[in-house]
Structure 1
Amino acid sequence: MSVALTLRAGGRPLLIPYVMAGVVPDWLDLVRGAARAGADAVEIGLPFSDPMLDGPTVQRAAALSAARGGRPRALLDELAGLDLDVPLVVMTYANVAMTLTPGRGVGGFVEHLASVGVRGAIVPDLPLEESAEYRARAAAAGVAAVLLAAPVCGDDRCREIARASSGFVYCMSSMRITGERADLPATARETARRLKGMTGLPVVTGFGISTIAQAVEACADADGVVIGSVLMRMLVDGAPVAEVVEEVAAFRRALSSGHLSPAGG
């Protein structure tokens, strides 16, 4: 399954919910439910002790996963056999990628992702200049190497990132860690507009997309959005998986119609 081709299907704004692997015992039910609720892909986070881009909510989710005994490789193995109609994209850090399969480096990492059905990876702390081997190994394994572009990146840098990325280009809404925000930063739309003029890949905005109104606004320029902290906050605060799935469905309804739905708030 090609991430880029699957994401382009249908012509509607793309919705990619984020799920921290192992955050609750029935986390796989959330992955399945999100797919049924209309997600175009599901981003799977792996718990890590030093997450440079994760805000407090995602860190709490990672701590819950770790406290339950969650370890990256074992959590990835739980994805095997899910057989979803949408691609899974793993988000993790270079330390995990390099050590997931001892002695095999990034090649072993992406091959393991492919073996459990994952079709994309985001490794935000791996510099572009040091990513050539990772991107080549990922391509050989059939795993899209999704790269991030930040608002501070100049046009030349954005072009390099867009050219090197596969699957889609992840547009950071602002120069801040993940977490819920009161408003959509102006940099979100401006950066998405710039990237859209540089690539034929989908441009997906994330980091701080906290409400349905913000998601609809972001998609005026981007091809889609990632929603994470708002969903993880619900889980860590004790909401059942079914309630979180309904929140995903509310985002889907609003993005598909292009305006706020009554159920979406």
Structure 2
Amino acid sequence: MSAATVTGGALHRHLGSRAAAGRSLLVPYVMAGLPGWAELVGEFAAAGADAVEIGLPFSDPILDGPVICEAAERALAGGTTAATVLAELPGLAAQVPLVVMTYSNIVLHRGAPAFCAALRAAGVSGLIVPDVPFAEAAELGGACGAEGIDHVLLAAPSTPPGRLGEVAQRSRGFVYASAVMGTTGVREHLPATAARLAADLKALTGTPVLLGLGISSPASARAAAAVADGVVVGSALVRDVLEGRGPAEVGRRLAALRTALDEA
């Protein structure tokens, strides 16, 4: 399946053109509501991010590890909600596309069409909802498409071959390939299953394939870039924020990852 046969929105075109030019893509994650999160979006863009993933805090983030869970708890305790985040997004100095990551309960609270319309109004280009069963993802994908939002789907090392093909063909913006089975977190090494998953997906679609879950160091970023079109980096950056590092310092960590990808 070639990239030309896949239609998508602004995120899809932006990442697709950069990947086609040979750039390894870098998508960092920030938990909305943490201190300095809005400024951090601008720092990430300046440090070489190709898009920024914005996490909406949720009380039961079942697919996230302890770092993201703690971040969500802190954000919720500070009064952050999906509504307050979407209200802030238009005012951000975002020079790259924004992708919202959330859970199905938040989407269903408004209804998928209304939620996707709110994303569009906030200037969001993509949506990740990891706990929506694949059999039910078509309805959400349709709501996204109606508003020009790219619906990013996830694949795991355990995804059956037939389902993998469907994920690869239906995902827009990029395909989120989980480097490991499990929750988000900081890990030292890229497992062999990640390389196999990335290769299988790249054989099925021209949409960029990004590896996430555990990418935390320049070494792991380089290893991922050797087999995929880029990386999603979350827990390592969020941990820095939780430990009190400011946006400029966290941005420097991301810049080091950008350098590693460019040298891969």
Q: Which of the five TM-score ranges fits, normalised by the shorter chain? A: over 0.9
Q: Tell me if structure 2 keeps the 8 A contact 1:20–1:62.
A: yes
Decide which of 230, 233, 237 is 1:227's aligned counterpart: 233
Q: Deviations over 1:229-264 (max 9, x none)?
A: 000111101111110011111111111122xxxxxx
Deviation at 1:135, TM superposition (A): 0.6
SS at match of 1:51: coil
What percentage of residue pairs aligned between the two structures are identical? 49
Matches of residues 1-265 of structure 1 in structure 2 within 5 Å? 2-8=10-16, 9=18, 10-24=21-35, 26-82=36-92, 84-99=94-109, 101=110, 105-258=111-264
For 1:262, the equivalent position in structure 2 comes to none
2: distance between equivalents of 1:66 and 1:132?
30
Deviation at 1:83, TM superposition (A): 5.2
Gaps in structure 1 of 5+ consecutive residues: 259-265
Q: What is the TM-score normalised by the length of structure 1?
A: 0.93
Gaps in structure 2 of 5+ consecutive residues: 1-8
Q: Deviations over 1:206-246 (max 9, x none)?
A: 00112110011011111010011000111101111110011
2: distance between equivalents of 1:248 and 1:123?
24
Q: Tell me if structure 1 keeps the 8 A contact 2:41–2:92.
A: no
RMSD over aligned Cα, in angstroms?
1.1
Q: Tell me if structure 1 keeps the 8 A contact 2:212–2:233.
A: yes
2: distance between equivalents of 1:68 and 1:153?
37
Q: Tell me if structure 1 keeps the 8 A contact 2:120–2:149.
A: yes
2: distance between equivalents of 1:154 and 1:133?
22
Q: Tell me if structure 2 keeps the 8 A contact 1:17–1:34.
A: yes
Q: What is the TM-score normalised by the length of structure 2?
A: 0.93
Q: Deviations over 1:74-107 (max 9, x none)?
A: 11211013353311000000001111x3xxx100
Deviation at 1:72, TM superposition (A): 1.2
Opposite residue 91 of structure 2, the aligned amino acid is G
Q: Tell me if structure 2 keeps the 8 A contact 1:81–1:117.
A: no
Q: Tell me if structure 2 keeps the 8 A contact 1:206–1:226.
A: yes
Q: Tell me if structure 1 keeps the 8 A contact 2:98–2:125.
A: yes
Count residues in correspondence.
253
